[in-house]
Chain A
Amino acid sequence: MPVSEVTAQDESFAETYLKKFFNLTEESGPSVRRGISPVSKKLSEMQKFFGLQITGTLDSDTLAVMKKPRCGVPDGTVAR
């Protein structure tokens, strides 16, 4: 419930979470300068799955869900 600031450490944690559970891949080659960033896209995907407000940005509600204990199988995608 209390709103707290999102720190750089939280952002790094969120990126690891998205890589692990929402198939966020490292960008390689020339970086894309325009359009929605892959992190924002995956955040939106995650927020949609968990019924959170879809903002595409890391907020305290999203972070709280990421920090909950959970199953290790990726969400919404199929791990072969």
Chain B
Amino acid sequence: FSTFENNLKWQKNSLTYRIENYTPDMSMSEVDDSIEKALQVWAKVTPLRFTRLYSGTADIMISFGGRAHGDHYPFDGPGSTLAHAFSPGPGIGGDAHFDEDETFTLRSRKGFVLFMVAAHEFGHSLGLSHSDDRSALMYPVYTYKNPDTFVLPQDDVKGIQSLYGPNPVKNPFVAEPQPPPTPDACDSTIVLDAVTTLQGEMLFFKDSFFWRSTPSSRTPQQSLITNLWPKAPVSIDAAYESQQPGKIFLFKRQHVWAFTGSDLVPGYPKSLTSVGLPRGVKNIDAALYDVDSGKTLFFVGNSYFSYDDARKTMDNGFPKRLDQTFSGLPGKVTAAFQYRGFTYLYSGPHMFEYNLKTGRLYRVLRNNYFLHC
């Protein structure tokens, strides 16, 4: 997180706000609720309290306007800049302006969720600058999140509490939701959700995030899954790259999603039975596509299935027990992929390097071996 110069903040904990006008995109009560909820995001974790004014000048004046709207920082029409807010101070300080040329919504993915945009802007109104933590609310790029399940990320909690301290009032009967932590690629104990190649890159999935490792860069780039695939699930079970260029399959519980580029392939998500798995399989642990044989391997518990992509059927003789083919695996496979002719099976925090044809185990490596820690 970062704060403004000299840790600029309000010198009082009771602040006022006023909604000066409304967007026609939403009903007035939806705007009122979104703004109130966005302020409460910050009130929950600090001693700050907000009171609404209906006339006069409030600390935080909230308005919707397009292009030039009276503050010498004109908006730019649809897209790009959605809103801006001023750091704490008298006059225009603390005020939040929303670009009327955008389409704001209550919770739809079509348009920008006003609650998310407002909560971010109020972070500025209270003294937070932008964060370079991609999971943070104060990251400058808009990301869709369901407002009903939103929890202020740890980075923002630390940021705002560095200015105002924690909320002294805690309800002992209500368990506070834990902010989602940002996973550390270099944590040697991390258990990855899934690993796959995609057009020469390696993708490593964990919770809402993935790291993308390109041949030209030794430093993997972290990103939110939904930044690249807006319609994808998070905390996936498995992933693999199809033989069709640019196509990737993501698995979660009993469903599979297919994406070409960032786009969801029409007809998806489908059930696991669509890839030939028996109805009794509730989820898979890992998957990989074997380039040499044209088979897709699905790992489920202590067994694995082999699916023939050309014949579109599951191979006879499967499922097989893992130890019939892969010696030395201590437990179930948690992620799997192929790279430069080798098959890598992850089990917990370790990665096992195999020759798939012979089943020979070459090396046991830490799971962040390819993450260049």
Closest to B82 in A: A69
Tell me if A71 counts as interface (CB < 8 A to partner B). Answer: yes
- Cβ A72 vs Cβ B142 within 8 A: no
User: What are the interface flags for B215-243 relative to A under an 8 Å C-beta threshold, 1 for contact and 0 otherwise?
Assistant: 01101011100001000000000000000
- Cβ A68 vs Cβ B142 within 8 A: yes
- Cβ A53 vs Cβ B216 within 8 A: yes
Tell me if A78 counts as interface (CB < 8 A to partner B). Answer: yes
- Cβ A51 vs Cβ B221 within 8 A: yes
Q: Which residues of A contact B344 (CB under 8 A)?
A: none
Q: In the assembled complex, how far is the CB of residue B232 from the closest CB belonging to chain A, in whole angstroms?
A: 13
B-side interface size class = 35 or more
- Cβ A71 vs Cβ B221 within 8 A: no
Q: Chain A interface secondary structure, helix, strand, loop or mixed?
A: loop
Closest to B79 in A: A69
Q: Once the chains are docked, how many angstroms separate the CA of A71 from the CA of B139? A: 9
Partner of A73, one of B129, B216, B221: B129
Q: Which residues of A contact B217 (CB under 8 A)?
A: 53
Partner of A70, one of B2, B80, B129, B221: B80
Tell me if A35 counts as interface (CB < 8 A to partner B). Answer: no
- Cβ B84 vs Cβ A71 within 8 A: yes
Q: Once the chains are docked, how many angstroms separate the CA of A78 from the CA of B236? A: 38
Interface residues of A in 52-73 (CB under 8 A from B): 52-53, 65, 67-73
Q: Chain B interface secondary structure, helix, strand, loop or mixed?
A: loop
- Cβ B129 vs Cβ A53 within 8 A: no
Closest to A3 in B: B199
Q: Which residues of A contact B18 (CB under 8 A)?
A: none
Tell me if B262 counts as interface (CB < 8 A to partner A). Answer: yes
Q: Which residues of A contact B142 (CB under 8 A)?
A: 68-71
Partner of B130, one of A67, A75, A80: A75
Among B80, B199, B223: residue with most chain A CB under 10 A:
B80
Partner of A2, one of B84, B117, B261: B261
Q: Once the chains are docked, how many angstroms separate the CA of A36 from the CA of B228? A: 32
Tell me if A8 counts as interface (CB < 8 A to partner B). Answer: no
- Cβ A51 vs Cβ B222 within 8 A: yes
Q: In the assembled complex, how far is the CB of residue B212 from the closest CB belonging to chain A, in whole angstroms?
A: 9
Closest to A77 in B: B129
Tell me if B121 counts as interface (CB < 8 A to partner A). Answer: yes
Partner of A71, one of B2, B120, B261: B120
Closest to B217 in A: A53
Q: Once the chains are docked, how many angstroms separate the CA of A67 from the CA of B261? A: 17
Tell me if A1 counts as interface (CB < 8 A to partner B). Answer: yes
Partner of B132, one of A49, A71, A73: A49
- Cβ A72 vs Cβ B84 within 8 A: yes
Q: Which residues of A contact B2 (CB under 8 A)?
A: 76
Q: Which residues of B contact A49 (CB under 8 A)?
A: 130, 132
Q: In the assembled complex, how far is the CB of residue B2 from the closest CB belonging to chain A, in whole angstroms?
A: 8
Top 3 A-B pairs, shortest CB-CB distance: A72-B84, A72-B81, A69-B142
* A interface, CB within 8 angstroms of B: 1-2, 21, 49-53, 65, 67-73, 75-76, 78-80
* B interface, CB within 8 angstroms of A: 2, 4-5, 73, 75, 79-85, 87, 99, 102, 112, 117, 120-121, 124, 129-130, 132, 134, 140-142, 198-199, 214, 216-217, 219, 221-223, 228, 246, 261-262
What would 13 A/B residue contacts be, using CB atoms closer than 8 Å? A1-B198, A1-B199, A1-B246, A51-B221, A51-B223, A52-B221, A70-B142, A72-B81, A73-B85, A76-B2, A78-B87, A79-B87, A80-B5
